[in-house]
Amino acid sequence: MQETRTHRTVLLNEAIAALHVNPDGHYIDATFGRGGHSRLLLSQLSALGRLTAFDKDLEAVAEAQTIVDARFSIRHEGFMHLGEMPASSASGVLMDLGVSSPQIDNPARGFSFRSDGPLDMRMDTTRGQSVADWLTDASIETMAEVIREYGEERFAQQIAKAIDHRRQERGPLRTTAELAEVVAGAVKTREPGKDPATRTFQALRIFINAELEELQQALEASLKVLQPGGRLVVISFHSLEDRIVKQFIAGHSREVFDRRAPFAAPKAMTLTALGRIKPSEKEVAGNPRSRSAVMRTAERTEVAA
């Protein structure tokens, strides 16, 4: 039986509180999703405030278009385009990196191994290559590298060989059930309660959407668009994302000395780290998909003259 396609916004109140909202400010929701954060943020803005949202998912854009508010606009683009916003124009940038429940629960999107559907996984179905198309021609070595790097899967080589064997025997994989079956046959052990296909599906989704590369670009762009005192709030859902966010904030939260010029003034820090939080036990109990979330917050420092 298919699950109800509802979405509960993770760390909703905590994220908006972390932005330290200026009612007259301009905010960016870099990953609109189903709009939970955007709607709460709009409720805290004055008539002068503005909110710009980004999302490359057509279903998310359609949801955003139900918000009839002159202070709000949606861009059908990934947040790698954040840097196109005017410099120092934003009072805050919010990035919720999670896949929304309607995306996961809709078999037609191909994100989940729990329901059979086309093996797609593209966030933006109007462009790019589906997972099925990529797996048709990818080499064993390339598949293993992707599954190992983006899924942290120790059976990556066995899975890649199993996919290749399946291609040779019965032709290309076209559905999520077919891929899940191949992975289950290749993965001999797994953590209790975890489906054998979890890491492989994560890896292929991250890879086909270039999620980590886009995150790195968006984080760098946030430095440009944030005003001094503006807040960067990022909610991540797995260790690869959180590691990038943690290292980015840490790297920009300290002065950098050039060893080649020991008497030169250090490069000034551009962020102040404000810590991290995780969902409460109550939130996790009500929304199990929130259990892996980590939210990190930083503040843009004054720009040197």
- Looking at the structure, tell me whether residues 192 and 216 fall in a common domain: no
- Looking at the structure, tell me whether residues 219 and 80 fall in a common domain: yes
- Looking at the structure, tell me whether residues 258 and 226 fall in a common domain: yes
- The predicted-structure confidence for 174-211, as pLDDT tens digits, reads as follows 999 999 999 999 997 777 778 899 999 999 999 999 99
CATH number, residue 147: 1.10.150.170
Whether the CB-CB separation of 229 and 258 falls below 8 Å is answered with no
- The predicted-structure confidence for 62-111, as pLDDT tens digits, reads as follows 999 999 999 999 999 999 999 999 999 999 999 999 887 677 778 878 77
What is the per-residue pLDDT for 256? 53
Residue 119 domain flag: no
Phi-psi region for residue 193, left (φ > 0), alpha (ψ -120 to 50) or beta? left
At residue 241, the 3 state secondary structure works out as helix
Q: How many domains does the chain have?
A: 2
Residue 270, domain extent: 12-101+211-300
- Looking at the structure, tell me whether residues 164 and 93 fall in a common domain: no
- Report residue 4's pLDDT band, with 50, 70 and 90 as the boundaries: very low
- Return d(Cα 302, Cα 268) in angstroms, integer: 10
- Looking at the structure, tell me whether residues 24 and 156 fall in a common domain: no
- Report residue 8's pLDDT band, with 50, 70 and 90 as the boundaries: confident
* pTM as predicted: 0.88
Task: Establish how many alpha carbons lie within 13 A of residue 167's alpha carbon, considering only the half-sphere containing its beta carbon.
Answer: 17
- Report residue 3's pLDDT band, with 50, 70 and 90 as the boundaries: very low
- The predicted-structure confidence for 115-154, as pLDDT tens digits, reads as follows 889 999 999 988 899 999 999 999 999 999 999 999 999 9
- Looking at the structure, tell me whether residues 256 and 203 fall in a common domain: no
When the pLDDT of each residue in the chain is averaged and rounded to a whole number, the result is: 90
- Looking at the structure, tell me whether residues 65 and 188 fall in a common domain: no
Residues paired with residue 90 on neighbouring β-strands, in sequence order: 226
Whether the CB-CB separation of 51 and 27 falls below 8 Å is answered with yes
- Looking at the structure, tell me whether residues 95 and 241 fall in a common domain: yes
- Return d(Cα 134, Cα 163) in angstroms, integer: 12
What is the per-residue pLDDT for 2? 35
- Looking at the structure, tell me whether residues 52 and 176 fall in a common domain: no
How many of the other CB atoms lie within 10 Å of CB of 260? 6
- Return d(Cα 293, Cα 278) in angstroms, integer: 6
Q: Can you read off the two tokens belonging to residue 233?
A: 């709030």
